[in-house]
Structure 1
Amino acid sequence: MVYEVHILHTGYSRTVEGGTEANCTCSIIKGKYNLIVDTMTPWDQEIILKGLKDVGLSCEDIDYVISTHGHSDHTGNNNLFLKATHIVGFCISYKNHYYDEPFSKNEPFILDEELKVIPTPGHTLSDVSVIVNTLKGTIAVTGDLFEREEDLIDDNIWRNAGSESPDNQIKHRNMILTLADYIVPGHGPMFSVPK
């Protein structure tokens, strides 16, 4: 079955007086397995419910909830998906059962030959990214490994957003750039990987 990637919400991040204003990009991967990646803040429930309806899904149709890392703007509505397996960074769980995870051994969690979750630490030490093959090409949903397309030119953008391991972040950013045709970053629109 062919996978499709739908952006339910395009993230943003901007400096404001007294701090930062930000929300993450929220994506749906639709196919043999249905995934939601990064569920925004707790105040964004209506955006998610409407976005699911627009792509012909409901909360009950989601098989996996992926939070690329555990920051609050990426986990805020995970509780809407009670029939799904949850992957939050390196943690894989369903209800109160926690599964052995492959990420700390630098191995992927493979759903099928077209869809996998891979470890990409850097922004946090337990970041993951989703790699999905579509008719459009290979799409990497990376969370804050990439803040937005502009950080390809200005690495101060991702560095200033916080990085628990800049060396790992550089390594995993380069790896994604060789794997993907398109990147869905944590706080900006999807972009094509420059050749």
Structure 2
Amino acid sequence: MDPIVLFEGYSKTENNKYRANCSCVLIKGPPNIIVDTMTAWDGDRILKALQEESLTCDDINYVICTHGHSDHIGCNYLFKKATHIVGHSISHRDHYIEHDFRNGKEYVITNKIKVIPTPGHTLQDVTVMVSSQRGVTAITGDLFERFQDLTDEDIWKEAGSDSEELQRINRFKVLRMADFVIPGHGPMFRVPKTFKVPG
């Protein structure tokens, strides 16, 4: 049940134009979960990637968006049978499910998959934690932009932060919990041992 990165996120400036798209991640189950659905122009790419994993949109049980920015929610419309978790909002069709993310409550999908609140980039950010034989993988959205922002805080700050204080706290929280991080706009990385607290 190791998460599969369908598309690696990026953010860059080319010819004085800023371009960005998020990491899009599949967790094959059951349940089948897709995390962050890119922009509204990426539907065909997602359909093809799912087909290569022998899945259709109707096979997806949960759509989880780490936050509500346009490059993370664009293809949610493809998954009409799924429960949608967008930041702190959980819904299926027009039914909204109450859950107290605001006070730190985790949303448990299985004993190996949970959604935890990690506000900072936006105040409703969430991270998906997946336990597998490889270890614990955190799918964080823009809590982390990419590996380089572990040593250069300007990278994640310049990407926008509704609360730098909360983002810093939750970044360290996730680094202590996870073995691997799939950030919002870069390749997956192993958490350096220097971020682990002994005992």
Aligned sequence identity (%): 53
Is residue 167 of structure 2 the alignment partner of residue 169 of structure 1? Answer: yes
Residue by residue over 1:55-99, the C-alpha shift from the partner in whole angstroms, topping out at 9 and shown as x without a partner, is 121101111000100000000000000000000000000000111
Q: Deviation above 4 Å: which 4+ runs of structure 1?
A: none
AA at the equivalent of 1:154: D
Q: TM-score, normalised by structure 1?
A: 0.96
After superposition, residues 1-195 of structure 1 pair within 5 angstroms as 3-195=1-193
> Does the 8 Å contact 1:5/1:27 carry over to 2?
yes
Q: CA deviation at 1:15?
A: 2.5
User: Unpaired segments of 5 or more residues in structure 2?
Assistant: 194-199
User: Unpaired segments of 5 or more residues in structure 1?
Assistant: none
Residue by residue over 1:8-30, the C-alpha shift from the partner in whole angstroms, topping out at 9 and shown as x without a partner, is 10010013455521000000011
> Does the 8 Å contact 1:106/1:119 carry over to 2?
yes
Residue by residue over 1:125-180, the C-alpha shift from the partner in whole angstroms, topping out at 9 and shown as x without a partner, is 00000000011110000000000001001110000000000000000000000000
Q: TM-score, normalised by structure 2?
A: 0.95
SS state at 2:148 partner:
helix
1-structure distance, mates of 2:47, 2:190: 28
> Does the 8 Å contact 1:28/1:35 carry over to 2?
yes
AA at the equivalent of 1:191: F
AA at the equivalent of 1:105: N
